[in-house]
Amino acid sequence: MYDIIGDIHGHAEKLEGLLLQMGYVPDGCAYLAPTGRKAIFLGDLIDRGPGQMRVLEIVRQMVDSGNALCIMGNHEFNAIGWATPDPANAGQYLRPRSPKNLAQHAEFLKQVGQDSALHAELIAWFKTLPPFLDLGGIRVTHAWWDPERIAYIESRFWDASGQSMCEEFLVDAYSKHSLAYEAMEGVCKGLELKLPAEGFFIDHEGHKRYDVRCRWWQNDAKSYRDYAILGPSQSDCVPDKALPTGHPQPAIEGSPIFVGHYWLQGTPGPLGPKFACLDYSAAKRGPLVAYQWSGESELSEANFVEFGAAES
Check residue 105 for interaction with Mn ion (CB under 5 A): no
Question: In the chain, where does DSSP find H-type helix?
Answer: 12-21, 52-64, 74-83, 99-112, 117-126, 147-156, 167-173, 179-189, 224-227, 232-235
Q: Which is nearer to Mn ion, 200 or 263 (CB)?
A: 263
Indicate the SS3 state at residue 4: strand
Give the amino acid at 216: W
Dihedral sign, CA of 58, 61, 67, 73? positive
Site for Mn ion in 59-88 (CB under 5 A): 73-74
- Which CB atom, from 74 or from 141, has the smaller least distance to Mn ion? 74
Question: Which residue number, 115 or 211, has a Cβ lying nearer to Mn ion?
Answer: 211
To the nearest whole angstrom, how small is the minimum distance from the Cβ of residue 111 to Mn ion? 18
Judge whether 222 and 239 are in contact, CB under 8 Å: no
Choices 44-52, 104-112, 217-225, 247-255; region in contact with Mn ion by CB under 5 A: 44-52
In angstroms, what CA-CA distances link 208 with 96, 202, 205, 235, 240? Answer: 21, 5, 9, 14, 19
Smallest distance from Mn ion to CB 149, Å: 16
Residue 141 lies near Mn ion (rule: CB under 5 A): no
Stretch touching Mn ion by CB under 5 A, among 8-16, 244-252, 259-267, 270-278: 259-267
Q: In the bound complex, what is the minimum distance in angstroms from residue 280's beta carbon to Mn ion?
A: 13
In the complex, what is the shortest distance from the CB of residue 142 to Mn ion, in angstroms, rounded to a whole number? 6
Q: Does residue 261 interact with Mn ion by CB under 5 A? A: yes
CA angle 204, 208, 212 (to 5 degrees): 80
In the chain, what is the greatest distance between 2 CA atoms, to the nearest angstrom? 58
Residue choice 3, 44, 47, 76 for contact with Mn ion (CB under 5 A) = 44
By beta-carbon proximity to Mn ion, the closer residue of 262 and 307 is 262
- Residue 27 Cβ vs Mn ion, minimum distance, rounded to whole Å: 29
SS3 state of residue 38: strand
Footprint of Mn ion on this chain (CB under 5 A)?
Answer: 44, 73-74, 261
